[in-house]
Amino acid sequence: MPGMDGIEFTRRVRELYTEKDIPIVMVTTQDEEADRSAALEASVQDYLHKPFNKSGIEMVFKRYLK
C-alpha cells in the first residue's frame, strides 16, 4: 500500500472502530514472527500468509462472516 503499511492502516482503523465493529484480516507475504506479533498488537484478528490455500481462506470467512 502506498503511504503506509498494513500495521499503520490497522492502527488508524482501530482509532475509529473497535474490534467488535470491524474484523481485520491481514493478508501478507511477510512471514516473520515479529510481523505477526506487530499485527496482533495492532488488533488484527487473523493473519494469512501468501500464498495461502483455499481451506485457510474458507476458515477465516466462516469465522467472521456470520
How many domains would you assign to the chain?
1
Q: If you average pLDDT over residues 3-26, what whole number do you get?
A: 89
Q: H helices of 1-66, where?
A: 6-16, 33-41, 54-64
Q: Is residue 18 very low, low, confident or very high in pLDDT (cuts 50, 70, 90)? A: confident
pLDDT value of residue 19: 76
Asked whether residue 41 is domain-assigned, the answer is yes
Please report whether residue 1 resides in a domain. no
23-58: per-residue pLDDT in tens? 899 998 888 899 989 999 999 999 888 888 889 889
Asked, for residue 44, whether it belongs to a domain, the answer is yes
Domain with residue 10: its CATH number is: 3.40.50.2300
Please say whether the beta carbons of 21 and 45 come within 8 A. no
Q: What are phi and psi of 19, to 5 degrees?
A: -60, -30
- What is the distance between the alpha carbons of residues 14 and 24, in angstroms, rounded to a whole number? 10
Structural domain boundaries, residue 18? 6-64
Q: What is the pLDDT of residue 53?
A: 86
List the grid coordinates of 6.
498494513
Asked if residue 15 is part of any domain, the answer here is yes
Residue 27: its H or E element: strand 25-28
60 domain residue, yes or no: yes
Q: Is residue 20 part of a domain?
A: yes
